[in-house]
Structure 1
Amino acid sequence: MTREDTVPRTEQAPARWVDAKDVRAGDTLWFGNPRHTVLVERVTQARSNGDIGLHGNNDTWSGFYKPDNRVRIAVTPTQTG
């Protein structure tokens, strides 16, 4: 699978908002620009303050969010219902 396979196009894979605590490995974070999407490879939780760590792109990208922070993920065909 290439990176282009994991980058959704807005007309093919709409995004939806979820709490950071609900993001799972395999979800694709959607920042509105296909060059900046991130395939989440693992999710961690910091012991010190409870922040949710989202890690992807072969561990070259990490973002930390409060559990109730909202992030956008690409909707896969199985999530559309």
Structure 2
Amino acid sequence: MRQKLRQLRLDRGISQSFISKKLGFSYPSGYSNIEAGRNRLNYDHAIIIANLLGVDVSELDEDANFFAQKLHKTCNKESA
């Protein structure tokens, strides 16, 4: 996923600082750590990043099942 996030971001000319601020991090390292694989990408941040990059959240990872499972769990929590 790291390479895909980086490539999508670079293709669109978006900085790590910009995404980091949109995610609510105080420093650019908040997002760069996700892109570098030092921190995990949570589903809420994935939705924000997907919107910023103009893609569907399933396009952020080669393993689309990961996000499908998280979406299922999130929807079940909201409807409970």
With structure 1 as the length reference, what TM-score do the two structures score?
0.24
- Higher strand fraction: Structure 1 or Structure 2? 1
With structure 2 as the length reference, what TM-score do the two structures score?
0.25
Q: Which of 1 and 2 has higher RCO (CA within 8 Å, sep 6+)? A: 1
- Higher helix fraction: Structure 1 or Structure 2? 2
